[in-house]
Structure 1
Amino acid sequence: MKRILTFISVFALLLTACEGPQGPPGFDGFDGQDGQDGVGVPPAFEIVLDFTPEDNYELIEPYGFEVGPTAVALVYISWEVDNGQDIWRPLPQTEYFEDGTLVYNFDFTQNDVRFFLDGTIDFSTLDSSYTDAQVFRVVLVPAENVGRVDLSDLNAVMSAYGIEEFIKR
């Protein structure tokens, strides 16, 4: 019995002392560049806007800070309020009406994010609750990190990236 325990102990020591080839390198950390604020928290802001025919039912918002070439914009809309809590949904989001659809959508560049209405409905027939005082939150994250977080959940994104507040615009 002692011999078996000795053999197992020696074998275990050999396995823990072995080294294999080095694995692939991990992702580089942030050093305050690529839209980061120097402590690894991505830029995040909140904006309230009105969609109007004068602006072709769109708004282009410059970031106001440098964004790296691999940054991805995540945009969320305050969809409803439940017991005083905002329910956030990722864009695009679609509303269905008898005479068509309304889609809240966005696109982005390294310089700005564009919020716009899309769909098949005549936007001029919409109630102002669909066009006025719409609240959006924008988070810019490195593209290589996007698959690591449930992007449909703003709270998960905030937790994963250490976001505690959104700058109001």
Structure 2
Amino acid sequence: MKKIITLLAIAGLFVLQSCTTSGYFETAPIARNEVFEVTTSFNSNNNYGRLVTFNPPIYSSDVVLVYRLSGSNSQGDVWELLPETYYFNNGALDFGYKFDYTNRDVDIYMIGSDLQSVTAAFRLNQVLRIVIVPANYAKTINKNSYSDVITALDIKDNQIQKINL
């Protein structure tokens, strides 16, 4: 019996010695405050949506914010926080932008009953900024203001990562 236990112990050592954990560390979530910029068009080919994957994943406690470049003025670019909704004069929904996210990706998409009829200015070449906000900042910053969020996270324009899809 002692020989069998000794043999199993030695075999166990060899098995454990060949194991590595590098795969875990490569996909483990990391704390970060980052901004990604994506230019995309919403059309029937992509079902009026765009999926952006986080690699490596973010912590599930982090918050993801998405802003759409809606224009510019004398003070600079104007960024609108999603969700963003547009209505007809009668109050009915025309179209809008929404998103949802997990710790691995963010799905940005349009909503509406007739998205093909939405003008090209709102569908094509839309510039989106995806901001990952660590949990400790999420409750204290003004999320409605892109400028306030970027200032609070101390993100400079040269740190914004452009993603080509």
- TM bin, normalised by shorter chain, reads 0.7 to 0.9
Contact 2:85 2:93 in 1 (8 A): no
SS at match of 1:105: strand
Q: Does 1:79 align with 2:74?
A: no
In the alignment, what sits opposite 1:36?
A: 31
The count of residues paired between Structure 1 and Structure 2 equals 132
Query: Which segments of 5 or more consecutive residues in structure 2 lack a partner in the other structure?
Result: 1-27
Q: Which structure has the highest helix share of the two? A: 2
SS at match of 2:149: helix
Distance 2:98 2:120 in 1: 17
In the alignment, what sits opposite 2:16?
A: none
C-alpha displacement at 1:108, in angstroms? 0.5
1:52 to 43, 52, 68: 43
1:96-153 deviations in Å (ceiling 9; x for gaps): 235742111111011111110013x401112211110011111111234212011101
Give the number of the structure with larger relative contact order, counting CA–CA contacts within 8 Å between residues 6 or more apart.
2
The amino acid across from 1:149 in the alignment is: I
Q: Does 1:145 align with 2:137?
A: yes
Distance 1:47 1:136 in 2: 5
TM-score relative to the length of structure 2:
0.73
2:103 to 100, 107, 110: 110
Indicate how the Cα distance of structure 1 residues 35 and 97 shifts in structure 2: closer, same or farther if over 3 A, else same: farther
Query: Which segments of 5 or more consecutive residues in structure 1 lack a partner in the other structure?
Result: 1-32
C-alpha displacement at 1:34, in angstroms? 4.6
RMSD of the alignment, in Å? Answer: 1.9
Q: Of the two, which has the highest radius of gyration?
A: 1
In the alignment, what sits opposite 1:26?
A: none
In the alignment, what sits opposite 2:162?
A: 168
Distance 2:121 2:60 in 1: 36
Distance 2:152 2:30 in 1: 17
Identity of aligned residues (%): 27
The amino acid across from 1:44 in the alignment is: V
Contact 1:104 1:116 in 2 (8 A): yes
TM-score relative to the length of structure 1:
0.71
